[in-house]
Structure 1
Amino acid sequence: MNGYTKNKLDKMSKIEQVTFDLLSTFPIKKIAVTDISKAAGVSKVTIFNYYETKQALIKKVIFDHFQTIYEQYEAIIQSDLSFETAYRRLTQFELTEMQKNSVTLNQNIMTLYASDPSFYDPATQDKSDQLILALIKKGRADGFINPHYNDETILSICHIYNEGLKIFSDTPDKLFAMTDDLTSIFLNGLR
Structure 2
Amino acid sequence: MNGYTKNKLEKMAKIERVTLDLLNQFPIKTIAMTDIAQAAGVSKVTIFNYYDSKQMLIKKVIFDHFQMIYDQYDRIVSSDLSFEAAYRAITQFQLAAMQQNTACLNQNIMTLYATDPTFYDQAARDQSQQLMLALIGKGRTDGFINPRYSDDTILSLFQIYSEGMKIFGETPDKLLAMTDDLTAIFLNGLR
- How many residues were matched structurally? 191
Counterpart residue identity of residue 159, structure 1? Q
Match of 2:79 in 1: 79
**Deviations 1:84-131 (Å, cap 9, x if unpaired)?**
010001000000011000000000000000000001100000000000
Aligned residues: percent identity?
73
**Deviations 1:105-163 (Å, cap 9, x if unpaired)?**
00000000000000110000000000000000000000000000000110011011100
1:67 Cα deviation from its structure 2 partner = 1.3
Match of 1:54 in 2: 54
Counterpart residue identity of residue 42, structure 2? V
Counterpart residue identity of residue 147, structure 2? P
Find out whether 1:151 has 2:151 as its counterpart: yes
Provide runs of 4+ in structure 1 moved above 2 Å.
Answer: none
User: Hey, what's the Cα distance between the residues in 1 that align with 2:14 and 2:143?
Assistant: 48
Structure 1: runs of 5 or more not aligned: none
1:65 Cα deviation from its structure 2 partner = 1.0
Counterpart residue identity of residue 37, structure 2? S
Name the Cα RMSD after superposition: 0.5
Aligned residue for 1:24, secondary structure, equals: helix
User: Hey, what's the Cα distance between the residues in 2 that align with 1:35 and 1:151?
Assistant: 46
Match of 2:17 in 1: 17
1:52 Cα deviation from its structure 2 partner = 1.0
1:66 Cα deviation from its structure 2 partner = 1.5
1:68 Cα deviation from its structure 2 partner = 1.2
User: Hey, what's the Cα distance between the residues in 1 that align with 2:86 and 2:40?
Assistant: 40
Match of 1:95 in 2: 95
Match of 1:44 in 2: 44
Counterpart residue identity of residue 162, structure 1? S
What TM-score comes out, normalization by structure 2 length? 0.99
**Deviations 1:44-91 (Å, cap 9, x if unpaired)?**
111111011100000100111121111110010001110001000100
User: Hey, what's the Cα distance between the residues in 1 that align with 2:161 and 2:119?
Assistant: 16
1:2 Cα deviation from its structure 2 partner = 1.1
Alignment of 1:121-140 (within 5 A): 121-140=121-140
Aligned residue for 1:148, secondary structure, equals: coil
